Amino acid sequence: MDYWQKRLNDYRSYLKLERAFSDNTVEAYLRDVRKLIDFFKSQHITLAPHEVKKEHLEDFVKWAASSGIGANSQTRIISGVRAFFKFLLVDDAIGEDPTEFVKRPRMERKLPEVLAISEVQAMIDTVDLSSVHGLRNRAMLETLYACGLRVSELTTLKLSNMHLDTGFIKVIGKNNRERMVPIGEVASKHIKNYIEHVRKHLSKIQKQDEDILFLNHRGTQLTRVMVFKIVKEAAEKAAIPKNVSPHTFRHSFATHLVEGGADLRAVQDMLGHESIATTEVYTHLDKEYLKETILQFHPRSRTHQGE
């Protein structure tokens, strides 16, 4: 298996240097390929990468399923293995891609909770605006919902990227990809209020966080854990019986947009998804809403049509 290790080392360099992936992402890709190597070892199969055929990979998929690995994890592993062999193909290490016709398991889509618009408002209304923390937390919750941000994107928002007068903010997403996201007047108002009445009056701001928008009382960037805590507390105060997290705001943001008629491509751009397939998970619409829409707009939905 020494040949595999050499190729893994080459692949690691490619992911880090050419794709500029983070260390965690690189390790995730390598871990998927190591699963395949573990399978070959368990079956006492000695193959170099260029000797791997479609049949071997199909046996690998069956082995993964019999090992208790869930369908979603299987799909992720196969995607990782496929990316590895595509790299080998481009690198001229193999003559053909054995993963090309390997079927992926059907994914089990588990959608996160969706908040009703009234529930979002109820959570936001629980914030005490008489305190400095309350002014900050209100601005954060408004921004989460107004822009559909990931929690990591919220905590790393920069003052220099707030173009509130033009109605946009610049967001740094996964793999340092930048995108411009529209922001509404309400969220803009609360951000300006927080900057003017709280952030400007912090006694000390740490040098490395001088451009970070949302800070704690010590003048340092908020942690993900702190944002989770703030959201959880707001949900509890609003007596919402759902498992609410910052991602729930992101999911609700996208779902409400789609229900309101927003174009899926526009939602994809705002969420920062590379693939439209990822955005499609946010088309989780209420069945009655879909039924009413079809009955209202489809030209042949009424029994009198064509009679």
Could you say which of 7, 35, 199, 250 is catalytic?
Answer: 250
Could you say which of 56, 104, 247, 284 is catalytic?
Answer: 247
Could you say which of 29, 145, 194, 282 is catalytic?
Answer: 282
Could you say which of 136, 150, 190, 199 is catalytic?
Answer: 150
Q: Which residue from 120, 123, 161, 124 is spatially nearest to 139, judged by alpha carbons?
A: 124
Could you say which of 82, 136, 190, 273 is catalytic?
Answer: 273
Verify whether residue 150 is a known catalytic residue. Answer: yes
Verify whether residue 190 is a known catalytic residue. Answer: no
Verify whether residue 31 is a known catalytic residue. Answer: no
Count of alpha carbons within 13 Å of 247, Cβ hemisphere only?
7
Q: How far is CA 12 from the centre of its chain?
A: 23
Could you say which of 174, 192, 232, 284 is catalytic?
Answer: 174
Which residues touch 203 (CB under 8 Å, ≥6 apart)?
219
Q: Is 180 helix (H, G, I), strand (E, B) or coil?
A: strand
Which residues touch 282 (CB under 8 Å, ≥6 apart)?
251, 254, 255, 258, 267, 271
Verify whether residue 199 is a known catalytic residue. Answer: no
Among positive and negative, which fits the CA dihedral 263, 112, 35, 56?
Answer: negative
Q: Which residue from 84, 13, 80 is spatially nearest to 50, judged by alpha carbons?
A: 84
Instruction: Tell me which residues are annotated as active site.
Output: 150, 174, 247, 250, 273, 282
